[in-house]
Amino acid sequence: MQDVRGKTAFITGGGSGMGLGMARVFVEEGMNVVIADVRQDHLDEALQSFSGQQERVHGLIVDVSDRQAMQNAAEETVERFGKVHVLCNNAGAGIIGPLLDATYDDWDWGINVNLGGVVNGIQSFVPKIREHGEGGHIVTTASMQGLFVGAVAGIYCATKYAAVGLMEALHPELAPHNIGVSAFCPGLVNTNIHEAEKARPERWGNTNYGQAMAERAPEFKKNVLNVGMDPLEVGARVLAGIRNNDLYILTHPEYEQGVRDRYDAILASFKQDHEPPAERVAAEQAVLRFPTYVDELSRLRAGDLPSET
How far is 103 from 1, CA to CA, in rounded Å? 42
Answer yes or no: 156 catalytic: yes
How far is 180 from 249, CA to CA, in rounded Å? 12
Diameter of the chain measured on Cα atoms: 68
Neighbours of 9 (CB within 10 A): 28
Cβ 164 vs Cβ 181: under 8 Å? no
Neighbours of 307 (CB within 10 A): 12
How far is 215 from 6, CA to CA, in rounded Å? 44
Q: Give the residue from 279, 195, 213, 193 showing the smallest Cα distance to 17.
A: 193
How far is 20 from 109, CA to CA, in rounded Å? 22
How far is 5 from 3, CA to CA, in rounded Å? 6
| Local structure of residue 287 (DSSP, 8 states) | H
Q: Which of 156, 161, 209, 255 is catalytic?
A: 156
- Amino acid letter for position 125: F
**Active site members:** 156
